[in-house]
Amino acid sequence: MSARKVEQEIAVRHPGETPDFFGHREAETALLAAYRSGRIPHAWLIGGTAGIGKATLAYRMARFVLAHRDPLAPSVQHAATLAVDPHDPVARQVAAGAHGGLLVLERGLNDRGVLRTVITVDETRETISFFGSTAAVEGWRVCIVDTVDELNPNAANALLKILEEPPQQSLFLLVSHAPSRVLPTILSRCRKLLLRPLDTDDVIRAASAAAEMAPDDPALIEAAAAAEGSVARALNLLGGDALKLQQKTAALLATLPQVDPRELHALADSLGLSDRVALAAFIEGVERWISDRLRTGDPNANLPRLARLAEVWEKIVLAARDTEAYNLERKPLVFSVFSMLAEAVR
């Protein structure tokens, strides 16, 4: 069972199955122009905040290259976008995860059937056999890494080795939520393509298509307005419960370093045991609160305190991954998060 099957429990549609694409016109044009030139860089780092369409763009590019193997062909030279008909055999194979020219590196399941928190070196070494095989389809071979942030150190080094000596007609599309934290040696071998959060209208259109809802649905409009340019966040907020949970989280964060334990217990109880949407909403609320403080433009800001917040955020991310991966109790995570943040802001 792949990570794709796990993600479908909370995502409306996997990026590899998504024919629609909203916003990011400049980024799409840059990829198309580079391919059309016949001299496309072999590796791209597609960076930006979570849920804004980075993986969707990577799969969109992969489909186009695999469907149009000759960059100088008229169909490529005259193309206005990277769109491929969803009924095209290549599009159907990519959606099914069955195209011989596409390798996707993402978190898989361990021997116990639990989603790993990282992409392992063994999974990354699949690139060697993938690009070295002569049995796969002719022409381009594309590797999507979703996300490069989740490579463990050994996996990152394994990927670096093949990036240093890329095979002919190879294309690497590395998705990253935090490009500044990617290994500099990997960054130096990639063309960087940074995506900005979507505007609210694009979030509405994308979430409407993904959730099959009317674009004028009040719940969708409210979720999109609170999503800060992220389609994934808007989808998580749909229904109102997740949005209320984020508002409750924000209210408690505003009281730091003092927090009412009873309110903290109530917040933790509202996350449930296996509700991934609620957990994501809680972590996103914390991320937003921390990001607002790290983005401060105040030259008199307490730099040591900001550094502590950044360190705490890294610990929170790891703890949240473990909680989700092993389906742990949510209450210890909530109390731990508020305890670390209270200490950081004192």
Q: For residue 125, what is the domain's CATH number? A: 3.40.50.300
25 & 111 share domain = yes
Q: According to the model, what pLDDT value does residue 7 have?
A: 35
Domain assignment present for residue 224? The answer is no
Exposed / middle / buried, residue 143 (Cβ in 10 Å: 0-12, 13-18, 19+): buried
Choose one of 159, 177, 194: the last residue of a domain.
Answer: 194
Domain assignment present for residue 148? The answer is yes
Q: Helix %, strand %, coil % for the chain, to 5?
A: 55, 10, 40
Domain assignment present for residue 207? The answer is no
Choose one of 128, 160, 194: the last residue of a domain.
Answer: 194
Q: Which tens digits make up the pLDDT trace of 68-101?
A: 999 999 999 999 999 999 999 999 999 999 999 9
Q: According to the model, what pLDDT value does residue 296 have?
A: 60
pLDDT at 277 over 90: no
Residue 115 sits in which domain range?
3-194
280 & 182 share domain = no
pLDDT at 326 over 90: no
37 & 140 share domain = yes
75 & 187 share domain = yes
51 & 173 share domain = yes
- Report the number of distinct structural domains present in the chain: 2
280 & 173 share domain = no
Choose one of 162, 178, 194: the last residue of a domain.
Answer: 194
Main-chain dihedrals φ then ψ at residue 93, nearest 5 degrees: -65, -40
Residue 124's contacts (CB-CB under 8 Å, 6 or more residues apart) are: 105, 151, 155, 156, 158, 159
Average pLDDT over residues 235-258: 85
Mean per-residue pLDDT over the chain, rounded: 87
Domain assignment present for residue 220? The answer is no
| Local confidence band at 132 (pLDDT 50, 70, 90 cut-offs) | confident
| Local confidence band at 297 (pLDDT 50, 70, 90 cut-offs) | very low
189 & 262 share domain = no
174 & 254 share domain = no
Domain assignment present for residue 331? The answer is yes
17 & 141 share domain = yes
Q: According to the model, what pLDDT value does residue 210 have?
A: 82
Q: According to the model, what pLDDT value does residue 141 have?
A: 94
54 & 163 share domain = yes
Domain assignment present for residue 232? The answer is no
Domain assignment present for residue 204? The answer is no
DSSP line for 251-311: HHHTTTT---HHHHHHHHHTTTTT-HHHHHHHHHHHHHHHHHHHT---TTS-HHHHHHHHH
244 & 188 share domain = no
Classify residue 181 by its DSSP letter.
G
Domain assignment present for residue 223? The answer is no
Q: According to the model, what pLDDT value does residue 25 have?
A: 96
Tell which phi-psi region holds residue 272, choosing left (phi > 0), alpha (psi between -120 and 50) or beta.
left
| Local confidence band at 338 (pLDDT 50, 70, 90 cut-offs) | very high
173 & 104 share domain = yes
